[in-house]
Amino acid sequence: MAYYHRMGNIPPKRHTQFRQPDGSLYKEEVVSSKGFSGIYSTLYHINNPNEVTAIGKPKPYSWKAATEHGLKQTHLKTSNVEFTGDDYLSARRNLMMNSDVMMGICSPRQRKMDYYFKNADGDELIYVHDGEGVMYSQFGKLEVHKGDYIVIPRTTIYRFEFEEKGPLRLLIIESFGAIETVKRYRNEVGQLLEHSPYCERDIRPPHELHVEDKKGEYLVQIKKQGMLHQYSYGHSPLDIVGWDGYLYPYALSIYDFEPITGRIHQPPPVHQTFQAWGFVICSFVPRLFDYHPLSIPAPYNHSNIDSDEVLYYAEGEFMSRKGIDRGSFTLHMGGLPHGPHPGTVEKSIGAKATDEYAVMLDTFKSLQLTTDALAFVDENYPMSWTE
């Protein structure tokens, strides 16, 4: 993260004695990235975080590429999906993947997790398309709402409790590298610059420490190398009395992203919200259109020579696409030109603003559909530019 945060009780100096009321030491844990060269946080446990009571049999947890899909402009019609599984982990259905990133949906029937989850393979970015709830982690309590991006660093132990009322729909992006704020919007000490489309005031770290100090049986499912490893503990992993540092989960609402506009059509990098190794994430939000007297608001045709482009359509009217619904994905692969559907360019001329929300993933390695995605493929989409 871009700035320092602290919660709860911590000693005045790192790696020094910090005692509990009974005289025993709190157990210090450093959670660090890039060995000891990246961002890190220091946590103080009531119990020893290494005390495992049982290790269960690992369960397979991976996705297969649909190698026969081929080179096609792709529309995945997921808008009518109500549930994708029972619990949070079984409901995660990755639809696209490469060696850097996976992207998919999650709509579980069960709103509360009775276990904890740790992703030891990568960072996660969860976009809350529908739903409200609370994320509990070692770093505290984080309330999450419709429209939130939740950035969860690798190895964060967490569980969700979502509200029972209303739909629950999550877009999940899993990155094998760190998900970060955009480098060109930061100064040399990491502060977001004046021209950044969001600032530190918009970023919400955990707001309240959540200490679980009772003994019992606590299951942590750990994702590592295509398996879910079952670790049981005699105490909660959320037994933290205090922590400080730069590594922690946080939320940023798409509704707080301030669009950058121009006199003529602006390219997608102005919408960039996050960066990671091998891909970027952009946010399309309501904005004024271009104000040149001859401007064309609809995007121009574009050939990606070294990236694939995914758009997840969240809300509103999508002027350059026909037949796209809320919850649709489009995948426009490098090697093929893509652009507005016939008739949409002329129709856009004179429009003053757009009222759309969409999340874009641009990758620098080719994406493949997973076998899970094949059930949602719109077979007519590749020919939809021909009237």
pLDDT of residue 324: 85
Residue 292 counted as an annotated binding residue: no
With H, G, I as helix, E, B as strand and everything else as coil, classify residue 162.
Answer: strand
Residue 338 counted as an annotated binding residue: yes
Quick: pLDDT tens for 220-240: 999 999 999 999 999 999 999
Residue 302 counted as an annotated binding residue: yes
pLDDT of residue 93: 97
What is the percentage of the chain residues whose pLDDT exceeds 90?
Answer: 84
The percent helix, strand, coil of the chain (3-state, each to 5) is: 5, 40, 50
Q: List Cβ neighbours of 49 (8 Å cut-off, separation of 6 or more).
A: 27, 29, 237
With H, G, I as helix, E, B as strand and everything else as coil, classify residue 354.
Answer: strand
What's the mean pLDDT when you consider all of the chain? 95
pLDDT of residue 387: 65
pLDDT of residue 320: 60
DSSP at 340: P
C-alpha–C-alpha distance, residues 315 and 273, integer Å: 18
Q: Is 145 among the residues known to form the active site?
A: no
Quick: pLDDT tens for 235-271: 999 999 999 999 999 999 999 999 999 999 898 899 9
pLDDT of residue 350: 87
Whether residue 200 is predicted with pLDDT greater than 70 in this model: the reply is yes
Q: List Cβ neighbours of 294 (8 Å cut-off, separation of 6 or more).
A: none
Whether residue 299 is predicted with pLDDT greater than 90 in this model: the reply is no
pLDDT of residue 316: 86
Lowest mean pLDDT among 34-38, 44-48, 216-220: 34-38
Whether residue 119 is predicted with pLDDT greater than 70 in this model: the reply is yes
Q: What size, in residues, is the chain?
A: 387
Annotated catalytic residue within 45, 75, 265, 292: 265
Domains of the chain, CATH where assigned:
5-63+84-254 (2.60.120.10), 258-383 (2.60.120.10)
The answer to whether 307 and 362 have CB atoms below 8 angstroms apart is yes
- Averaged pLDDT for residues 3-20: 97
CA angle 250, 251, 257 (to 5 degrees): 135
Element (H, E) at 94: strand 92-97
Quick: pLDDT tens for 137-184: 999 999 999 999 999 999 999 999 999 999 999 999 999 999 999 999
C-alpha–C-alpha distance, residues 196 and 189, integer Å: 15
pTM of the model: 0.96
